[in-house]
Amino acid sequence: MAESRYFGVALDYSASSKYAFKWAIDNIFRDGDTVILVFVNKEIQDGTQADLWGEDGSRKKKKKK
């Protein structure tokens, strides 16, 4: 018996997101896989990407001098 595989997929309702998910269904997922879908609603974002990731793309808090 094959080992269980788990996938997480984030979708934002854009055409490219839907295309990428369809591609994954056709090319990656197999019977018995578990797929966890996360739907991102861009309309209700609270804060900015910089608030989450910082200026350098890191979640690390910068030390105060």
pLDDT of residue 28: 94
Query: What residues have CB less than 8 Å from 54, skipping those under 6 apart?
Result: 60, 62
pLDDT along the chain (65 residues), means of 10: 85 89 93 92 64 60 60
pLDDT of residue 21: 92
Q: Global pTM?
A: 0.55
pLDDT of residue 13: 81
pLDDT of residue 29: 94
